[in-house]
Amino acid sequence: MTAIEVDDVGKSYTGKGGKRTDALSGIRLSVPSGGFVSLLGPSGCGKTTLLKCLDGLIPVTEGEIRVGGVPITGPGRDRAFVFQDFRLLPWRTVLGNVVFPLEGVVSSRAEREATARRYIEMVGLSDFERHHPHELSGGMQQRVGIARALAVDPDILLMDEPFGALDAQTRELMQIELLRIWELTGKTVVFVTHSVDEALFLSQRVAVLSARPGRIAAEFEVPFAHPRQEHTVRGDSRFTDLRHDIWRLLKGDTHAFSE
Amino acid sequence: MTPSPRSLAGVALALAGWQLAGTFRPDFTSSPTLVATELVRLAREGDLLPLVAGTVATLLAGWTVAVTLGTLTGFLIGRYRLLAVAFEPYLVALYSVPLIAMVPLMVIWFGIGEGFLLATVVLATAITMVFPAATGTRESMRAYGELARAYQVSGHRLLLRVVLPGALPYVVAGLRISVQRALMAVVVGQFLVGHPGLGTLIGDARARLDADEVFAVALVALAVGALLTTLVGWAGRRLSAWRPEVST
């Protein structure tokens, strides 16, 4: 079943003096239910814009995005967004942040907190639920961001370079954690990244975007079965080949862009 | 915070210097011992304590109204662009008008009693809350508006659980500035229209060229100001303990 259909979507901005800038053009993409798809591309290619369009945070100017067959008009409870800069409320504790999207939706406080605690435990932060964000490391803060997204029990997780602000080691640990959570919950994930390795290690399919206006330049199926083991995947020759192909595509594109 | 030996030594040195200066021209510079004697006299004979209490009561009443009005106005112009465009220029202009220029109009409108003092405090103080509250509201929306939208938090929930807590550090910074300005307004107001209070004590002492009393009352005003600022600062830190203070 298809979770998300992106049907010939374009996004343009009219700047000062009526100058039109195309951020996205002719995007077609289909994300299967329960699938893990990465959007990969150079900075400024519009991959974050596309992700925000999928959430309904940014309206598209052309085409249509359908979630579960229904055109979207704005953010909805079937989707949850994970921000690159975590976007936690600094005056709230870990528990308070995870409970935040449930307030006004789940009326019983006990029930809200029980749900939040379940996901806080899933991301391994049970001992920190009374801590404030500034007391946590970057990796822990993003765990809170992921728990908050999971708490609304969405069908789809939209993740905008969620590990981009983390150091290399934390980043790898978080990737393994994310795969574990994905396998456990069966959510559909759309994952934006500019790291080829990250995209290949995590996803079943990688959509490579070209530079502005962003288009889908190519899609690559990643043949490794889940659950994945880090060392077996990264050491595999097919991984190296895919990595090489994508790099060539990206380099060629950057080259074409600079001309 | 305990004062360091060095700062205590500094205070002692300053007091000693003052005392020394006082031995040459006590009528001019007064001296610590003369001021201390004067303070005791004022407290015993004069109505120093009731006057201080009355001044602080007026200040707190006016300040409370001012903070409520100012913060609300700031929130509205921070939240709604149209209101900002319409009113911000006037508010900026009002901010830069010296207090003394408003006094004649206040007298015409409110007479020279308690009403005048309250109005002066409100007018002088509310404006100091407007811009911190507006900035805080804008910053809060900039930082958390998209998050709120992504998780469909809107209406009163957006206001009470996102915008206001996010603006709080700015509001707290405004509170400290505004309480100092409120004290200034009430003292100057009393001084100008002769309403009994700290301001009139200074005015009387000045009329009699009594340096001891001027210093004594100024010290009392200083102590009141320091106490209020400390209390507000402490309350502010309690309110926004989750985050380092911001300055505006």
User: Using one digit for the tens of pLDDT, what is the confidence trace for B212-240?
Assistant: 888 888 899 999 999 999 999 898 888 87
CA dist list (Å): A166 to A141, A148, B13: 10, 18, 53
Longest Cα separation, chain B? 74
How close B238 gets to chain A, by Cα (Å)? Answer: 12
**DSSP conformation letters of A198-211:** HHHHH-SEEEEEPS
How much is the pLDDT for B140? Answer: 95
Residue B191 lies in a domain: yes
Residues A189, A37: Cα–Cα separation, whole Å = 6
Residues A127, B7: Cα–Cα separation, whole Å = 43
User: Using one digit for the tens of pLDDT, what is the confidence trace for A151-190?
Assistant: 999 999 999 999 998 999 999 999 999 999 999 999 999 9
According to DSSP, the β-strands at A20-32 and A2-14 are antiparallel
Residue B7 lies in a domain: no
Residues A176, B4: Cα–Cα separation, whole Å = 52
Task: Decide: helix, strand or coil at residue A133.
Answer: helix
User: Going by C-beta distance under 8 Å and a sequence separation of 6 or more, which residues neighbour residue B136?
Assistant: B74, B78, B166, B167, B168, B169, B170, B171
Residue B4 lies in a domain: no
Residue A136's pLDDT band (boundaries 50, 70, 90)? very high
Radius of gyration of chain A (CA): 19
B152, B161, B166 member nearest A77 (Cβ): B152
Q: Is the dihedral of CA A206, A211, A212, A216 positive or negative?
A: negative
Query: Residue B229's domain is classified under what CATH number?
Result: 1.10.3720.10
How much is the pLDDT for B193? Answer: 86
How much is the pLDDT for A16? Answer: 80
How close A6 gets to chain B, by Cα (Å)? Answer: 19
Residue A136: Cβ within 10 Å count = 18
Determine the structural domain holding residue B38 and report its residue range. Answer: 28-239
Q: Which residues from chain B sit within 8 angstroms of residue A132, using beta carbons? A: 242
Q: How many domains does chain B have?
A: 1
Are B116 and B110 in contact, with CB atoms under 8 Å apart? yes
CATH 3.40.50.300 residue spans of chain A: 2-78+155-258
User: Using one digit for the tens of pLDDT, what is the confidence trace for B87-131?
Assistant: 989 988 888 888 888 888 888 999 888 999 999 999 999 999 999
User: Which chain B residue's Cα is nearest to A90?
Assistant: B242
Are A156 and A78 in contact, with CB atoms under 8 Å apart? yes
How much is the pLDDT for B243? Answer: 62
How close A86 gets to chain B, by Cα (Å)? Answer: 10
Mean pLDDT of chain B: 89
**CATH 3.40.50.300 assigned to A2-78+155-258:** yes
> Which value does ipTM take for this structure?
0.91
Residue B231 lies in a domain: yes
Q: Is the dihedral of CA B116, B119, B121, B123 positive or negative?
A: negative
User: Using one digit for the tens of pLDDT, what is the confidence trace for B145-201?
Assistant: 999 999 999 999 999 999 999 999 899 999 999 999 999 999 999 988 888 888 888
Residue B48 lies in a domain: yes
| Confidence check: pLDDT of A82 > 90 | yes
CA dist list (Å): A75 to A135, A186, A187: 30, 21, 17
Task: Decide: helix, strand or coil at residue A72.
Answer: coil
Residue B159 lies in a domain: yes
Q: Which residues from chain A sit within 8 angstroms of residue B150, using beta carbons? A: 55, 57, 75, 80-81
Residue B118 lies in a domain: yes
B146, B150, B243 member nearest A91 (Cβ): B243
Kindly determine whether residue B147 and residue A87, on different chains, have CB atoms separated by under 8 Å: yes
